[in-house]
Amino acid sequence: MTRGVTETKFGAGSLESITLRRRVVKGVVPEARVEGYFRIYCGAGNEHHQRIRGPWTRMDESFKDILADDDEVAKELVEAELDGWTDPCAS
């Protein structure tokens, strides 16, 4: 059983167009996901917007030190979603 989903929207800054959603599955397993647009400035100084819609991610031991900090959880999940992003201006 999944408890209600909570949402966090961020103010000005790198996460300003990102929403962090959290839920608890089976009463004890915290999960989170990020959705929105992330602004990236490339090496050429151009601005790119990358759509982010991450999967529900189980908040396991690797998240234990940041679990209470929405900003840090969101940054970690966004970073995972951007893994493999290539700069279109570098082509």
The residue ranges of every structural domain in the chain are: 6-83
Q: Is the pLDDT reported for residue 60 higher than 80?
A: yes
Question: What percentage of the chain has pLDDT greater than the value 90?
Answer: 55
66-71 long-range CB contacts below 8 Å, 24 or more apart?
67/30, 70/8, 70/10, 70/20, 71/10, 71/15
Q: Is the pLDDT reported for residue 29 higher than 70?
A: yes
Q: Is the pLDDT reported for residue 72 higher than 90?
A: yes
Look at residue 4 in the predicted model and tell me its pLDDT.
84
Predicted TM-score (pTM) of the model is 0.85
- Average pLDDT over the chain reads 90
Instruction: Report yes or no: 67 and 30 within 8 Å, Cβ to Cβ.
Output: yes
Confidence of residue 88 (pLDDT cuts 50, 70, 90): confident
Name which of 49, 46, 52 is nearest 20 in CA terms.
52
Confidence of residue 28 (pLDDT cuts 50, 70, 90): confident
